A and B are shown apart, each in its own frame.
Chain A
């Protein structure tokens, strides 16, 4: 079980690195990358729990594959949004894009 704790510690670290990046960075692309980090942390969790706790089942692996697929689609959508934002605001800095407010 030592391996599992070790890997979980990595995914824990990975998740909070992503969260930290998402909160501190202002560049949209970097923020997107941070989101991907968080997603992958979750993926690792799925795989680890599947392997060490329910080795006879495949559910965790399937979820991981689903998440990877959806993350790819989501990245495409996010980048499309970012491109549009850039066209409109001539910037991808999150601070410049604050028209959606009261």
Chain B
């Protein structure tokens, strides 16, 4: 077993880059982009090396991949039994996430050199990006649930900073606030879950928690299962509350409302944070605690139903949106729903852990093709200067490279073999089929809708009609080299990521699972995708009347979906009309009139009283003496006569 402590450089590099670009970036604006990209390149190379070392050189010990503590330090020692460690844990999912995060982050750093060129706060942008990379990498290697919570909040902060990057735009500010508040609200559940879980498992350490909870006959597991609140065991409560935190970050229903608005940030940021890395933190959290979840079927069912519902719900909304980034945002939500329900249908041991493997596999492939889609959309927006599909169309002639890579990514997300999305999606659907037929049906329907809205998007951007420049003259070509290169690299990853024998490396219990294509499930998935693709071609290849007719035929359903099922309005109603009017307004009234009034009353009484007696202190010595004599005489008379 080699020493993995060099892995800490993967974290240190982005942190140092963040400090340098943050402190001195204004003095060397051009350099900060190159510095950031080089730093991430270094981090990416390091994590590839770690992955190579971990999976291929060291390999399995006793048939499973060992969990390596690359670094461990006691950080806060409260009492002999209660302590918080800080450390770096390496296991298959952590190593996989390291690869994903550094790869996408490097691509985005590289891409941003071109995309953000000439931006006034260029250096600030890079320092935020490095801060995000640092926090995300810290999150995935956290050995301790408390440490993870800290990095969890740090990614939230960097997401807030980057969504609100164009802080002169009111919509961006509102979106940043919304993203922060919604995820923060969900994190309340996460914190409560951490406290309950660590109280019952008597540790904050992932390994100790998992070890204690996997011991069926141990007192700790039995206690956690026996203690109940409102008829549900403490362990189930803890896991459901932790899942609420994960759902907030991963934009699961009903905490998804922040994700579409977060598209106000620069597009590369959307690719990095809101498509590939941060939003899968919730999936990663459930996967990290998966051994514990697998003990509690009720909690896993919650994960499964929330995931399946979110996947389907988001797919319907995505079919009606016209802002290309919003379509991609809902598609992200839908795909994360896929990962969630894949975890929900998974078991722990051996073959039953197919869902877990599939979920992680989909996370991996999704990161590649969704980052590609977002970066491609960024290139389109860069060219057209608009987010609206209506302003696009017929771009294939103007942007041939973007057109091709976008096509590849759309095929991948639609699950067309042999692209990467096919393998992971097929595995998820197979796992769902073996566990729960309803979820399988929802997944299949979602796959069909996914293919439909992705090709709707693709055709609306690149075909549909002749491109007419609207007003602004196009003063540049397709995109600079720094933007094309990441697109090409990610396209290659999108094509070939699927042939990685993923189940050999990542599985729930660490053993190798033999994965094979299940012909029936695979053909069903491909058929569903094909239906979606062909109907999209039928409706959107040439400009015609059919989409209008269909949307008017659906009438109310279409309008509701277009309005995102009024979830935002519902939130606004609850927060503004109910919480604000019935709690905040009366509370403010009480504060202003009762609490402040009390203070005002005391002050007024004191003032009046002092006004009436202040003339005693006249500054005239003779009057003081007069009073003194009167007092002295009275006192002496009391002494002489009364006593």
Instruction: Spell out A's residues near B (CB within 8 Å).
Output: 19, 22-24, 26, 31, 94-95, 97-102
- A101 and B621 contact, CB distance less than 8 A: no
Docked complex Cα distance between A98 and B617 (Å)? 10
Which B residues from 600 to 637 make CB contacts under 8 A with A?
614-615, 617-622, 625-626, 629
Q: Which 10 A-B pairs have the closest CB atoms?
A: A101-B619, A98-B619, A102-B614, A102-B617, A100-B619, A94-B621, A101-B617, A101-B618, A23-B622, A98-B620
Q: Can you list 27 A-B contacts with CB-CB less than 8 angstroms, sorted by A residue number?
A: A19-B629, A22-B622, A22-B625, A23-B622, A23-B625, A23-B626, A23-B629, A24-B622, A26-B622, A31-B621, A94-B620, A94-B621, A94-B622, A95-B620, A97-B619, A97-B621, A98-B618, A98-B619, A98-B620, A99-B619, A100-B619, A101-B617, A101-B618, A101-B619, A102-B614, A102-B615, A102-B617
Docked complex Cα distance between A91 and B622 (Å)? 17
What is the CB-to-nearest-CB distance from A32 to chain B, in angstroms, rounded to a whole number?
A: 12
Docked complex Cα distance between A60 and B625 (Å)? 27
Docked complex Cα distance between A7 and B614 (Å)? 43
CB neighbours of B614 from chain A (8 A):
102
Residue in B closest to A100 when the chains form the complex, CB atoms: B619
Which B residues from 411 to 448 make CB contacts under 8 A with A?
none
What is the CB-to-nearest-CB distance from A99 to chain B, in angstroms, rounded to a whole number?
A: 6
A23, A24, A97, A99 — which one has the most chain B CB atoms within 10 A of its CB?
A23
CB neighbours of A98 from chain B (8 A):
618-620
CB neighbours of B621 from chain A (8 A):
31, 94, 97
Chain B interface size range: 10 to 19
What is the CB-to-nearest-CB distance from A26 to chain B, in angstroms, rounded to a whole number?
A: 8
Residue in A closest to B610 when the chains form the complex, CB atoms: A102
Docked complex Cα distance between A24 and B629 (Å)? 13
Docked complex Cα distance between A99 and B617 (Å)? 11
What is the CB-to-nearest-CB distance from A10 to chain B, in angstroms, rounded to a whole number?
A: 20
Question: 19 other contacts beyond A22-B625, A23-B625, A26-B622, with CB at 8 A cut-off?
Answer: A19-B629, A23-B622, A23-B626, A23-B629, A94-B620, A94-B621, A94-B622, A95-B620, A97-B619, A98-B618, A98-B619, A98-B620, A99-B619, A100-B619, A101-B617, A101-B618, A101-B619, A102-B614, A102-B617
- The proximity string for B residues 397-416 relative to A, scoring 1 for CB distances below 8 Å and 0 otherwise, is 00000000000000000000
What is the CB-to-nearest-CB distance from B146 to chain A, in angstroms, rounded to a whole number?
A: 59
Residue in B closest to A24 when the chains form the complex, CB atoms: B622
Docked complex Cα distance between A100 and B620 (Å)? 9
Residue in B closest to A19 when the chains form the complex, CB atoms: B629
